A and B are shown apart, each in its own frame.
Chain A
Amino acid sequence: MTQGVSGEVLLDVEGIGKSYPGVRANDDVSFAIGAGEVHALLGENGAGKSTLVKMIYGLVRPDEGRMILRGAPYAPAEPRAARAAGVAMVFQHFSLFEALNVAENVALGMDDPPPMRDLAGRIREVSEGYGLPLDPARLVGDLSAGERQRVEIVRCLLQDPKLLIMDEPTSVLTPQEVDILFATLRQLAAEGTSILYISHKLEEIRTLCDAATILRRGKVVGTCVPREVSARAMAEMMVGASLSAPARATGELGPVALTVERLSAASPSAFGTSLKEVSFEVRQGEVLGIGGVAGNGQDELLAALSGEARTGREVVRVHGKGIGHLGPNERRQAGLCTAPEERLGHAAAPDMNLVENALLSGSVRKGLVRRGFVDWTGTRAFAEAVVRTFDVRTPGTGTAARALSGGNLQKFVLGREILQEPEIIVVNQPTWGVDAAAAAFIRQALLDRAAKGAAVVVISQDIDEIMEIADRFAALNEGRLSEPVPVAGLTLERIGLMLGGSHGMHRAEAQAGEIRHAEA
């Protein structure tokens, strides 16, 4: 693919800057995207990628600098103007309406949509043309994450864009869906559409992108041709320091700590997934990774383990003792701590400060409440210990949880649970939306906890993460959990099949694998 190198420049960004009160989001950012080029924008959270693309898409106006699109000055006042100029964007979150159907969602993203009947036909035509089949009449609330993304992509494609901006498109996809997406993007690039691809998954960028611009703290710190440099080199440019992969001690596994047997639970939400006969056990010192695309029962599973949703007494057992009927505090007492995915509003109360948030989950195991009175000195010390040990960057423990960045709050939430020294810890999406350095830190902390003899359950959509830290892997699909298999020797294809829910096939294959193993 040489279009990007030889072709003309599509968008030229020159010296763009943007300040918010107290933050310099972008400072003198310059780069150029060629026609038909797949250009990566790399950076950690808070590096200024989002602000930059929002300026290109007309959602935010730059303070200084200028942009040139196809030789003409380009300063979109609103997304409508950007779309009219041929710039389209696929969002990471917040741009679909669950209660509306596919065609209505597409129509909302267009400035001059054709009548609904024609639109439905064009959606079918375009979506099939790019290998992303979609039924225009279905409610978006009933679609999987991958299908939802198709809706967004098709919405953009119907407007025949010259530049397609993709914000973290693969964070919610299975490996097979990623392959389909990449094939589509390559087809688009071959047809002359430029793609601005935002991600922090370096391997993806290396397989897909022609050029990369790396941002750190709002500034361009480097450019490279991703195929020619290693992922590690890019990561270090992104972080500005060297990274080390988490170290895992290979200790002996202890007895079974957590048992879940035939757990079935209806989902409390209309768009949720009910759990169907989920069974697994985790031993002391073991990390079980539960993979799966969002919305396949992860939240429901966490709720059943944390005690938010109660089950039959013997369905969930800790060290052989039934705790399924107990609430969260009694389960903490029994040694089971959990950290849900949603940081603000579920794991932490947004408007309460870190000390208060530390008390909310730590009061039982740390003995922070005596005779009905709160031991504020002890609580403050506990919160400070979490902040110190987990390197939470905050002005102090009196700061409201809402004011922390996602990564910092995640470190706080996980640190709060880990410092309670639980015998079993269950986390959902521990590094979702967290930058590379913080993610490495969190993974290491979980492994350390396992090394000290705790049973760890990591529910994650990030397959790389599970491969990195888990001993065994199980896939959650439409509320059913596959048989856990050892991570060692697991291929991406196998994982993809498991995530896709081909359980029968995978069992047969697992047996075949064992036989092959035995023969070898």
Chain B
Amino acid sequence: MELFGITPSVLLASLMVAAVPILLAAIGELVVEKAGVLNLGVEGMMIMGAISGFITAVHTGSPALGFLGGALGAMALSLVFALLTQVFLANQVATGLALTLFGLGLSSLMGQGYNGIKPPRTPDLPFGPLEQIPFFGRVLFSHDWVVYASVAIVAAVWAVLKYSRAGLILRAVGESHDAAHALGYKVVRIRVLAILFGAAMAGMGGAYISLVRVPQWTDGITAGAGWIALAIVVFASWKPWRVLIGAWLFGGITVLQLNLQAAGSRIPVEYLSMSPYLVTILVLVIMSSGRGRASLNAPASLGQNFHASR
């Protein structure tokens, strides 16, 4: 079965892979924003994860260690953000933007000499006979472990936020830091931990781009994926499962435009390449126009600095 020269099972399978980087980064940012911190440095943390993971994987020969390295690299960068915003009370928007610019530059510097190298391959998980199921075998059982791990992380974040005490405290801190402080919760500590978690997720997402998706290193390899991840959090109105839907939607558009290009669509390539970003803008406009619902679900202390003087 083919539509416009595209096989649906292949399209679905590749959209699941294409969605992984933005899915990981977005679910991390969701946790950060639920704690009341707006970290616009996702793009910078992703690309730091991409280069750190790439270097680690190339030198150790292990893709799994590569993902760990990616997470650690992004966490190191996010500590700068945490220090500036949580300790020195710098403006979160400005600091986040600076973090992105800094990450882009630093990754480019670190990546000198890694151009053109192939990283060790991340194999697909063996599912045996399951892979032979028509359609579903191709769509669901032909991926590497990170694809499944990313979905599991979404489930875990949802469960922790909804059912656990830690999740409740995290939401409380994002809702009203003054009230949380008055009850004796360590607002700054909780927020720093959330920032580190968000960075680890963004770093793994970045590493997935340089180790699996592309897989090689070039400057600016993340190409705006961090910004899309930020948009997905708003699109999802801070709900984990909607982040998954959003990521698949955007991943799907990315894959679709590539496939359309390959199938020789008559629409110029430039329009197709800009479509994911255009859709991001459109969705954000639509989400923000229905002010009541979307803003109601936004954490009330989002982007506000906390100073424990009261």
Given A100-B175, A104-B168, A91 contacting B300 (CB threshold 8 A)? no
Say yes or no: A98 contacts B175, CB within 8 Å: yes
Q: Shortest beta-carbon distance, B160 to chain A, in Å?
A: 14
Say yes or no: B176 contacts A97, CB within 8 Å: yes
Q: Shortest beta-carbon distance, A107 to chain B, in Å?
A: 6
B15 at the interface (CB under 8 A from A): no
Say yes or no: A91 contacts B172, CB within 8 Å: no
Given A99-B300, A107-B165, A270-B296, A94 contacting B172 (CB threshold 8 A)? no
> Which residue of A104, A108, A270 is within 8 Å of B183 (Cβ)?
A108
A59 at the interface (CB under 8 A from B): yes
Inter-chain CA distance A438–B189, complex, in Å, is 40
Say yes or no: B175 contacts A97, CB within 8 Å: yes
Say yes or no: B183 contacts A79, CB within 8 Å: yes
Looking at B171, B178, B184, B185, the one whose CB has the most chain A CB atoms below 10 A away is B184
Q: Shortest beta-carbon distance, B63 to chain A, in Å?
A: 41
Inter-chain CA distance A99–B172, complex, in Å, is 9
A333 at the interface (CB under 8 A from B): no
B295 at the interface (CB under 8 A from A): yes
Say yes or no: A107 contacts B296, CB within 8 Å: no
Interface string of B4-35 (1 = CB under 8 A from A): 00000000000000000000000000000000
Inter-chain CA distance A100–B172, complex, in Å, is 8
Give the total of B residues in contact with A, Cβ under 8 Å.
Answer: 21
A36 at the interface (CB under 8 A from B): no
Inter-chain CA distance A58–B169, complex, in Å, is 20
| Chain A residues, CB < 8 A from B299 | 99
| Chain B residues, CB < 8 A from A99 | 171, 175, 296-297, 299-300
Q: Across the interface, name the chain A residue whose C-beta is closest to B301.
A: A97
Inter-chain CA distance A95–B177, complex, in Å, is 9
A113 at the interface (CB under 8 A from B): yes
| Chain A residues, CB < 8 A from B297 | 99
B179 at the interface (CB under 8 A from A): yes
Say yes or no: B178 contacts A94, CB within 8 Å: yes
Q: Shortest beta-carbon distance, A92 to chain B, in Å?
A: 10
B292 at the interface (CB under 8 A from A): yes
B282 at the interface (CB under 8 A from A): no
Q: Determine chain A's interface SS by DSSP, over half rule.
A: loop
Inter-chain CA distance A91–B295, complex, in Å, is 27
B182 at the interface (CB under 8 A from A): yes
Inter-chain CA distance A79–B175, complex, in Å, is 20
A96 at the interface (CB under 8 A from B): yes
Say yes or no: B300 contacts A95, CB within 8 Å: no
Q: Across the interface, name the chain A residue whose C-beta is closest to B310.
A: A94
Looking at A58, A94, A104, the one whose CB has the most chain B CB atoms below 10 A away is A94
Say yes or no: A108 contacts B168, CB within 8 Å: yes
Interface residues of B in 260-310 (CB under 8 A from A): 292, 295-297, 299-300, 310
Say yes or no: A98 contacts B300, CB within 8 Å: yes
Q: Across the interface, name the chain B residue whose C-beta is closest to A96.
A: B179
Say yes or no: A108 contacts B172, CB within 8 Å: yes
Inter-chain CA distance A98–B168, complex, in Å, is 13
Give the total of A residues in contact with B, Cβ under 8 Å.
Answer: 20
Inter-chain CA distance A452–B165, complex, in Å, is 60
| Chain A residues, CB < 8 A from B295 | 270
Say yes or no: A97 contacts B182, CB within 8 Å: no
| Chain B residues, CB < 8 A from A96 | 176, 179
| Chain A residues, CB < 8 A from B178 | 94
Q: Across the interface, name the chain B residue whose C-beta is closest to A112.
A: B165
| Chain B residues, CB < 8 A from A270 | 292, 295-296
| Chain A residues, CB < 8 A from B183 | 79, 95, 108-109
| Chain B residues, CB < 8 A from A107 | 165, 168
| Chain A residues, CB < 8 A from B172 | 97, 100, 104, 108
| Chain A residues, CB < 8 A from B310 | 94
Q: Shortest beta-carbon distance, A293 to chain B, in Å?
A: 20
Interface string of A100-133 (1 = CB under 8 A from B): 1000100111000100000000000000000000
Q: Shortest beta-carbon distance, A120 to chain B, in Å?
A: 14
Interface residues of B in 22-64 (CB under 8 A from A): none
Q: Across the interface, name the chain B residue whose C-beta is closest to A270.
A: B296
Q: Across the interface, name the chain A residue whose C-beta is closest to B185.
A: A108
Inter-chain CA distance A213–B114, complex, in Å, is 74
Q: Across the interface, name the chain B residue whose C-beta is closest to A81.
A: B184
| Chain A residues, CB < 8 A from B296 | 99, 270
> Which residue of B165, B179, B184 is within 8 Å of A97 (Cβ)?
B179
Inter-chain CA distance A83–B182, complex, in Å, is 12
A281 at the interface (CB under 8 A from B): no
Interface string of A71-86 (1 = CB under 8 A from B): 0000000111001000
Inter-chain CA distance A91–B185, complex, in Å, is 15
Interface residues of B in 178-219 (CB under 8 A from A): 178-180, 182-185
Q: Shortest beta-carbon distance, B100 to chain A, in Å?
A: 28
| Chain B residues, CB < 8 A from A109 | 183
Say yes or no: B182 contacts A59, CB within 8 Å: yes
Say yes or no: A95 contacts B182, CB within 8 Å: yes
Interface string of B134-178 (1 = CB under 8 A from A): 000000000000000000000000000000010011011001101
Q: Across the interface, name the chain A residue whose C-beta is closest to B308.
A: A59
Inter-chain CA distance A99–B170, complex, in Å, is 13
Inter-chain CA distance A106–B299, complex, in Å, is 19
Q: Shortest beta-carbon distance, B293 to chain A, in Å?
A: 9
| Chain A residues, CB < 8 A from B292 | 270
> Which residue of B165, B171, B182, B185 is within 8 Å of A100 (Cβ)?
B171
| Chain B residues, CB < 8 A from A58 | 184
Say yes or no: B184 contacts A94, CB within 8 Å: no
Looking at B165, B172, B183, B299, the one whose CB has the most chain A CB atoms below 10 A away is B183
Say yes or no: A94 contacts B168, CB within 8 Å: no
Q: Shortest beta-carbon distance, A385 to chain B, in Å?
A: 33
Say yes or no: A94 contacts B176, CB within 8 Å: yes
Q: Across the interface, name the chain B residue whose C-beta is closest to A82.
A: B184
| Chain A residues, CB < 8 A from B169 | 108
Inter-chain CA distance A108–B175, complex, in Å, is 12
Q: Across the interface, name the chain A residue whose C-beta is closest to B176.
A: A97
Q: Shortest beta-carbon distance, A219 to chain B, in Å?
A: 23
| Chain B residues, CB < 8 A from A100 | 168, 171-172, 175
List chain B positions with a Cβ less than 8 A from chain A. 165, 168-169, 171-172, 175-176, 178-180, 182-185, 292, 295-297, 299-300, 310
Beyond A100-B171, A108-B172, list 5 extra A-B contacts (CB 8 Å).
A59-B182, A83-B184, A95-B182, A97-B180, A113-B165
Q: Can you show 7 pairs from A to B with CB atoms below 8 A apart? A: A79-B184, A97-B171, A97-B175, A97-B179, A99-B297, A108-B180, A270-B296
Q: List the 9 closest pairs (A to B, CB-CB), nearest first.
A: A79-B184, A94-B178, A97-B175, A95-B179, A270-B296, A95-B182, A94-B179, A80-B184, A78-B184
